[in-house]
C-alpha cells in the first residue's frame, strides 16, 4: 500500500486513497493525528526499544552499531527496577502523559523533526535522533496498519513531507543529513521504499485538486517547526504531470514555526512571573539567558546548558543577589524539575485558546501553588512580532525568487489557525485573495496523492 506520511514537527499523520478522495488513518483510537513527542525513562532505553521491534535479519547489525547504548539500557532497566518486557519508552499522547507525571526523571523530546539537520551534531547525537525517528515511525506505521487491518492494509511505500530547509543554517548539507536520518529510520521501520516532497508543494497539490482553472498560487505553510513558501503553477493543465519541476517557480523556507511562537509567548507572558525583567540589588536587570535556555526546546545547545550544574549554580547566585528572590526561586524549580517543556506546552495551549477567545487565564500551579498568567490577544501579537516578521520575509523571498505575482495565496499548517498570523499575512498583500486550507490535513493529503503517482 502507498501512503502519504506527514512526519510533522507538531503532529504526525498517515493518508491513504479511497477512490478519488484522501482519507486520514486513525493512529490513536479515533484520533487521526499523533503528537510528535517521545518520552523514555532513560534515553538508552530507546535503542533497546528499537532493537525489539526490528526484523530478525537486521538485529545483529543494529546490536553491533548500538552495543554501548544497549549495555547501558540493560543497566538502566536494573536501576529502574523494570521487568524485561515492561514498557519504558512512550510515543505521542502517552509520551506527554508520562512526561507530565515524571518531568524530572526521564528523557523527553518534543518535535524531534526540529532537530534534524542541526549543525555540529556528534555521531552519538545523530545515532540518538536516528533511533527516536525510527521508533516513532515504527509506532505510527504499526498503528496505521492496525487501523486498516480489516482491509489487509500492509504499508510498503510512503512519500514523506520535508520542509524546503530543515535548518536556517547548514544549507544543503543539513537537508541531506536530515533526509538520510528519515530514510534510514523509514527503512528500519519497515517501509520498502520512500520518496520526499516539499511540504508546501504537497499542501498546494491538495488545493489544486479543487481547481477548475489554471492559476499561480503562493503556498504559505506555517507548521509547527518550519515555515515554507512556494510559488506554484496549478490547475487542470498541470495536475496530471508527474514531473512538476517546471511548475515550481520559486521557494523559500526556514526553521520558524509554531514552536517559536510558543517559546516567544512563554518568554513574554510567563517568564516575568519567574523573575525575567526584575532587578538585581545592584540595579542591573536579571540576565535573560537562563530564562531563554529554559524554554528554547528546539535548541539543543540551550537545553543542554540549562540542565547543567553550572546553570543551577548561576540561578542560585541570582537568587542571593536579586531584589525579588522569590520569583527567581520559581526559575530554579523549573531547572531542577525540568519543567521547560511544560511551560512551552502551556504557551501552546494559550495560543490555541486565543484562536477563539480574546484572553485566557493560564494556570502555572506546577511551578508555584496558585500561580497563573493572564494572556490577551494583544500580548500574543506583541510576543510574536519577530517570528512573524521572518514569515513575512519568507513570503517576499518566494515572490522575488519566482519573479511573478500570485493570483492567490493559499495558507495552511496548524500554526496558521491563529487570527494574529492570518491578519499579518492578509495585511501584507491585501489585494490578493487568500484561501485558507485544512490547517492540519493539507500536507498529508498532497503527499498521499503524490504517492500514487510516484509508486504506481
Per DSSP, the residues of 167-182 read: SSSSHHHHHHHHHHHH
Q: Please check whether residues 174 and 275 belong to one and the same domain.
A: no
Examine residue 87 and state whether it is found in any structural domain, yes or no.
yes
Q: Please check whether residues 58 and 134 belong to one and the same domain.
A: yes
Write out the residue range of the structural domain in which residue 283 sits. Answer: 259-385
Q: Please check whether residues 333 and 186 belong to one and the same domain.
A: no
Strands 215-222 and 408-412: parallel
Residue 363 grid cell: 494556570
pLDDT in tens, 228-278: 888 999 999 988 877 777 888 988 888 788 888 999 999 999 999 999 999
Examine residue 6 and state whether it is found in any structural domain, yes or no.
yes
Number of folded domains that form the chain: 3
Q: Please check whether residues 232 and 176 belong to one and the same domain.
A: no
Rg of the chain (C-alpha set): 23
pLDDT of residue 170: 58
pLDDT of residue 254: 80
Residue ranges in 296-339 assigned as alpha helix (H): 300-306, 309-321, 325-337
Q: Please check whether residues 29 and 117 belong to one and the same domain.
A: yes
> How much is the pTM?
0.77
Closest listed residue to residue 45, CA positions, set 129, 131, 137 = 131
pLDDT in tens, 287-331: 999 999 999 987 777 888 898 899 999 999 999 999 999 999 999
Between CA 3 and CA 136 the distance in angstroms is 16
CATH of the domain at 250: 3.30.420.40
Q: Please check whether residues 83 and 150 belong to one and the same domain.
A: yes
CATH of the domain at 127: 3.30.420
Evaluated on CA atoms 179, 207, 219, 404, the torsion sign reads positive
Between CA 446 and CA 90 the distance in angstroms is 29
Q: Please check whether residues 126 and 23 belong to one and the same domain.
A: yes
pLDDT in tens, 109-146: 888 888 888 877 888 889 999 999 999 999 999 999 99
Question: Confidence class of residue 355 from pLDDT cuts 50, 70 and 90?
Answer: confident
Examine residue 448 and state whether it is found in any structural domain, yes or no.
no
Examine residue 202 and state whether it is found in any structural domain, yes or no.
no
Q: What are phi and psi of 4, to 5 degrees?
A: -100, 130
Between CA 8 and CA 25 the distance in angstroms is 15
Q: Please check whether residues 163 and 232 belong to one and the same domain.
A: no
Examine residue 200 and state whether it is found in any structural domain, yes or no.
no
Question: Confidence class of residue 440 from pLDDT cuts 50, 70 and 90?
Answer: low
Q: What is the mean pLDDT of residues 190-219?
A: 89
pLDDT in tens, 189-199: 999 999 998 88
Examine residue 336 and state whether it is found in any structural domain, yes or no.
yes
Q: Please check whether residues 150 and 243 belong to one and the same domain.
A: no
Q: Please check whether residues 181 and 236 belong to one and the same domain.
A: no
Average pLDDT, the chain: 89
Q: Please check whether residues 294 and 321 belong to one and the same domain.
A: yes
Contact 237, 246 (CB under 8 A): no
Domain boundary among 191, 221, 241: 191
Examine residue 196 and state whether it is found in any structural domain, yes or no.
no
Examine residue 445 and state whether it is found in any structural domain, yes or no.
no
Evaluated on CA atoms 359, 360, 361, 367, the torsion sign reads negative
Q: Please check whether residues 148 and 26 belong to one and the same domain.
A: yes
Amino acid at each position: 500500500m502507498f501512503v502519504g506520511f506527514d512526519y510533522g514537527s507538531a503532529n504526525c499523520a498517515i493518508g491513504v486513497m479511497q477512490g478519488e478522495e484522501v482519507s486520514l488513518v486513525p493512529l490513536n483510537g479515533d484520533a487521526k493525528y499523533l503528537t510528535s513527542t517521545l518520552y523514555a525513562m532513560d534515553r538508552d532505553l530507546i535503542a533497546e526499544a528499537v532493537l525489539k521491534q526490528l526484523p530478525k535479519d537486521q538485529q545483529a547489525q543494529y546490536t553491533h552499531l548500538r552495543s554501548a547504548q544497549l549495555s547501558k539500557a540493560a543497566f538502566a532497566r536494573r536501576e529502574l527496577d523494570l521487568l524485561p518486557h515492561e514498557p519504558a519508552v512512550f510515543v505521542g499522547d502517552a509520551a506527554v502523559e508520562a512526561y507530565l507525571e515524571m518531568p524530572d526523571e526521564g528523557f523527553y523530546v518534543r518535535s524531534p523533526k526540529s532537530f534534524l539537520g542541526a549543525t555540529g551534531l556528534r555521531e552519538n547525537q545523530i545515532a540518538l535522533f536516528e533511533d527516536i525517528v525510527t521508533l516513532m515511525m515504527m509506532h505510527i506505521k504499526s498503528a496505521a496498519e492496525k487501523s486498516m487491518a480489516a482491509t489487509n492494509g500492509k504499508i510498503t511505500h510512503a512519500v514523506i513531507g520535508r520542509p524546503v530547509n530543515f535548518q536556517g543554517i547548514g544549507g544543503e548539507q543539513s537537508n541531506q543529513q536530515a533526509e538520510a536520518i528519515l530514510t534510514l529510520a523509514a527503512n528500519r521501520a519497515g517501509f520498502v521504499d520512500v520518496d520526499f516532497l516539499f511540504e508546501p508543494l504537497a499542501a498546494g497539490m491538495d488545493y489544486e485538486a479543487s481547481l477548475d482553472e489554471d492559476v499561480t498560487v503562493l503556498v504559505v505553510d506555517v507548521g509547527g517547526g518550519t515555515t515554507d513558501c512556494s510559488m506554484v503553477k496549478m490547475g487542470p493543465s498541470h495536475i496530471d504531470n508527474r514531473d512538476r519541476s517546471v511548475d515550481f517557480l520559486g521557494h523559500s523556507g526556514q526553521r520558524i514555526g509554531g514552536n517559536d511562537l510558543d517559546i516567544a509567548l512563554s518568554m513574554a507572558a510567563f517568564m516575568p512571573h519567574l523573575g525575567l525583567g526584575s532587578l538585581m540589588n545592584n540595579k542591573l536587570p536579571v540576565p535573560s539567558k537562563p530564562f531563554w535556555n529554559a524554554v528554547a526546546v528546539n535548541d539543543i545547545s540551550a537545553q543542554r546548558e540549562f540542565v547543567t550544574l553550572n546553570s543551577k549554580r548561576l540561578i542560585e547566585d541570582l537568587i542571593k543577589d536579586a531584589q525579588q528572590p522569590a520569583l527567581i526561586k520559581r526559575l530554579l524549580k523549573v531547572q531542577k524539575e525540568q519543567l521547560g517543556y511544560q511551560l512551552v506546552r502551556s504557551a501552546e495551549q494559550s495560543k490555541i485558546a486565543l484562536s477563539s477567545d480574546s484572553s485566557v487565564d493560564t494556570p502555572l500551579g506546577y511551578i508555584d501553588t496558585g500561580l497563573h498568567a493572564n494572556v490577551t490577544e494583544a500580548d500574543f501579537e506583541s510576543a510574536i512580532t519577530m517570528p512573524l516578521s521572518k514569515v513575512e520575509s519568507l513570503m517576499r523571498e518566494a515572490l522575488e525568487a519566482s519573479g511573478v505575482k500570485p493570483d492567490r495565496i493559499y495558507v495552511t499548517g496548524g500554526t496558521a489557525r491563529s487570527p494574529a498570523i492570518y491578519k499579518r499575512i492578509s495585511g501584507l498583500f491585501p489585494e490578493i485573495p487568500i484561501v485558507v486550507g485544512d490547517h492540519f490535513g493539507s500536507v498529508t493529503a498532497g503527499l498521499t496523492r503524490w504517492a500514487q503517482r510516484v509508486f504506481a
